Structures are given as structure tokens and as C-alpha cells.
Structure 1
């Protein structure tokens, strides 16, 4: 039975929730990520991939199944592919394993690109509309990247910084200082230097990880300053992206979204509340959704804040990751813990075996919650 239009109001009033469904973002793509689903559920997988191809007007399925990696990793291919496979996995969970999303999930969210998967699953957007938005948005993003690289002669991309959890807050403050976006606390005036431009904090992912986006040479310069003058030595990991997502470079993509989504049918409220990456709170209205989904192209992804909000303030204990890869599970696990506890746990569903294991674990969780207290 569909939830009533008062779902958001009910969500706002309730103090405690239980189960969150979350979806991965860019970077989890790999050739063959639909193969195990094709092996075990050939009819449903073929139907879903054909539907995707029909909506997009070309055979993206061939690239997903057979590659090459160079084509799948292109932003305009990777993003719709990740979204389509994520939705496919959820459909199989519902139709083959009897998972009733509407009654068993209290809230949804998605990491960056994954927000579109969440909005489809939660009933705000139709799959076809969301897939076309994602494809076109990705094309604009790819063009933005080419143009900035041609103009600047510099390489662009994203770099994760990993530190000890008790150092993250100060690391963020110091990064903002060097970017000229904070109140400087750096005492050594002998090393005063102009702010580093063309670098932004793209993601605050977990208690020990942030992601920088922008010019790679300037990110390297920032790392030098952090180590020499800022008192920080984070581990830096270049991500599988040549685009500076969630930075001002992507302003044309934000403009595209503002205009394009006005012409899309949005159901608000959806069946299940959905948390925004930008506000780290549930979307409050149709206008709020349009604005925040547009800002997501250029603003910081507040993933850690979103998880903390649901875990600490709303009491979510069951976390189910749907989609390729386990990055999302790992990021959630850093905040809420990876080990299953009574009444909760964190699961990633990337293949049919994990789906079966998750369904068994959820049933055990339900029994432990329902069991009478001795």
C-alpha cells in the first residue's frame, strides 16, 4: 500500500526511525558490473538494460557488459550506467526476494549521483526522467571539464584526504584557511601567501575523509602547504575521476539542472522521505528539491552530516546499500560501525549472494527487535 502524502510530515514528527536505503555515486563503475545479475536473473536484467538503452537512444548496455573501461569511465556513460544498475538491483530485491521497500524502509539517500537513484526509488522521479537528466547533466559536466582544461592547461580531478578522526575538524578549518574561505588561524606571518584558487572541498564523507576537487597541480600545492605550515599530513588518494565535481567549474551543469528539472514531473512528497546531499536534511518541498538538486553540482556533498543526522538524531540502525561497489557501505560503516548489532547493521548488496545474506540478516534483526524483553 502506498504511503500517503503525509509521509514527510510523519517523518518530521517521528523521533525514531529504523531502516535507511542508500545508493552509491560516481567512481564505482566497472565493466561487467551487471554480469552476475545477468547470470542469475537473465530476463529481468535484459529487460532493464533494454529499457535503459531505449530511454537513452544508444546501446550503453554493451559498454556496461563488455567495455572497454575507457568508454565506461567517461562521465556521460559512467553516471547513467551506475544509476541504471542500482535501480536494477533494487527491482530484483523487490520482485525476486519479496522486499517491500515501501513498508520496510523509513528513509533514503544517495551519495552525489546516487541521489538520483534514491529519488527514483523513493517515488519522487520517474526512472526515465531521472536517467535522461543524469545523462544530459553528465554530458554538460564532461564539457565543463574539457573547457577548463583547455583554458588552463592544467589537469583536473578529485583527491581524497584521509586523516585520524580526531584531526578532521582542524584539517577542514586549515584547508578552508588556505583556500581563503575561513578565518585564518595560521600564526607564521613569514609564510603568508595568497589563497589557493580553483580548489574546493567537494565531499565531507566520513569522520576521517574529505575530498578536494579542482586543479590537480593546485591541490598538490595545497598539500604542500598543509604539511609545511598547517600541521597536517593527511594521506592523499587520487580518485577515479578526471572531472572536478562539486566545484564552481560545474556551474553550467547546475544551470542546466535548474532549467531541465522544471520540465520534469516531480511527485512531492514521495512515498518515502529522501535526505539531500546539500542540506543533510530531508527535502522539504518540490521547490526545495529543485533548488538543492541543482546546487548539488557545485556545492559540498555533506554525506557525513547526513549519516550522523539519521544515526544520532533519528535513530536509524539498519543501513542497506544498493548498487555497484562497497564504497558507500564503507563510508556509512565508519560512522555507525560495521559489526552487526542487535536490531541493526550495515549491508552492501552488490551481487545475488549478498542479497540472500542480507535478507536473512534482516529477518534475524526483525526477530531480535520484536523479541520480548525477559
Structure 2
């Protein structure tokens, strides 16, 4: 019996696939999204139709997508990894020429009533491509220079296309999740040491070339870095957002001010209260207890993904699940670091909680891939 035949004969079919769904993960994802609906209702002054209603509809569509992806055999998604990666690159190129501009960046493609952000899709297709690559590659060659160069190029191409939008936050996420998959695949730590040294050199170059025609970042991105180091230098301008975010974060105390009683959000002091800074609204209204509860939900989502990966004997499936879990973790970590003043503001929303279309749907498709790997794992 060939390995492919073994896969087919040991995979569940029909109704059995429903029973093999990781229902605990489904419930955790739904519970996390429910926190988002609650907070979106709060920041809209109790009006569900403004943000919470559309977000619920997107989540319902996302659930359909998740189950649809989950019921398709995981080896099909492995075979589609290259095509998915190429399509995401093509969409990133299309954005550069025909994209919709918003908040000073060209990141979206308008397809009738649907607005697509290809950079969100790229984060998932990059993981798929790297997992397929290391599934194909002989493990003995993982750390050989030639075979390390190819995945580096796979990571850098979409990263470069995202940087020029400009979207520095998502570009950093692509680099981090790509590096995580390479690490999980067994690439030697010496390469990461070299990259870390190059990163230090890059940071030095970024600051030393500021104000010259060859500066790497846009002026507004430099201002974000200045604000990170000293938000009080311009409290009513560039530093306003993070100062108000810290006030909201700390004013909730242990148990919070109560649902819809957050003064920072209700009086519109808190910026982007329904997207990037929604965690601060949660902390103000439900305090440390509410904020910690959400973090526990996030930790459980990641833990269930890691547990599923460790139970899976298929290399592609394991790397895919762990890569998606790493993407979810970095997404969460960057947003929390940003809204707590521990990192510059880069415009990364809180997964499953912040208001948004592309991010929600792509994340649900990613969880569908996790479920597909779980349902069709070798038994």
C-alpha cells in the first residue's frame, strides 16, 4: 500500500468528518469573537447595527468558510499551496496599481461590495507555501545554504510588496511568521543569529539615513517611532493616541467601570476604539479581570492548535498548524504591545475582536486549514 493510499484509507469520510472536527477550538474561536461583538456594541453606544451586526454576519460567513475548508482533505491544500501563494503575490501586485487608498496607504482591492486586503491573505499562503516546501525537502538538507536561501526568498517577496503599500505592521508579521516556520522546520540557529545581526545593522541604517533622500521609512513612520520613545513630546498631536490608550488601559482598575461606562471610549478620547485600540476599551470597562479573561481565551486557542500539531504525524500538517498558530500569536502580541505603549503604533488589529472584514474572513479560513489537518490526520 502506498503512502497516499494509506492516507486515503485512514482518513474519515462523510459524517465522520463532522465528529472529528476539533469542536473545542470552534467554541473557543466563537467565544473570542463574542467578546468582540460585545465591545463593538459598547463603543457604538449600544447600537448593534453600527459595528457589531456586520461583524456577526462576517463571522457567520467565516464559520461556513472554515467548515468548508475543514472538510476538504489536507493533502489537497498541500497541493494548492504553490498556487495560493502565487495568487496572493499577484493580488499584492494588483494593489500597487489598482488598489484603494485609505489612511495614506494603498492596501485594498474593491470588488464590488467586497473590499479585499491581499496582505491578510499573504500571511496564510506564506505559511502554506513554507510548510509544503519543508514537507517536500529532505530533512537532511534543511540547514544547507542553498536550501535556506529559497524559503528566505519566498518570505521576502511578499514582504517587499507589502512594505511599498506601505504597511510596515503586516510586513513585520510576514517576516516573523516566516522565520517561525523556518525555525520549526529545523533550520540551524546560526542563520537566525546572522539575521539578528543584520537586523541590528538595518535598524542603525534606518535611523542614520533619516532625513536623506535614501531614508527607508516614510516620515509618518519615523514620527510613530518618535512617539513610541516619548509620547509626551507632542501630547495633542502624534502622542495623543497612545496617551489616551494608556489612560483607558489603566483607569479600568481591577473590575472595570462597567459595560458601556468607559469614559475614554464613550467621550471619543480613545482613537480607533473599534479597531486597533479595542483592547483598551475592554480593559477600561471590565478591568484587569476582563482583559485577563480575553488573554486566557487567546492562550487556549493557541494551546489547542499546538496540541493538534503535536498529535499529527504528517509534516506538512504539523508545520501548517504551528505556522498558523504562530501567525495568530504574533498578530495578538503586536497589537497588545502597540496599545500598551510597548511598541510603536503600526496599525495591527486585535484578531477576532477588532472590527474588520478581510482579517476576520482570512483568519477563519486559516482555522479551517487547522481543522482540515486535524480531521484528516493519520490515525
TM-score of the two chains, using structure 2 as the length reference: 0.24
Which one scores higher on RCO, CA 8 angstroms, separation ≥ 6?
A: 2
Higher strand share: 1
Higher helix share: 2
TM-score of the two chains, using structure 1 as the length reference: 0.24
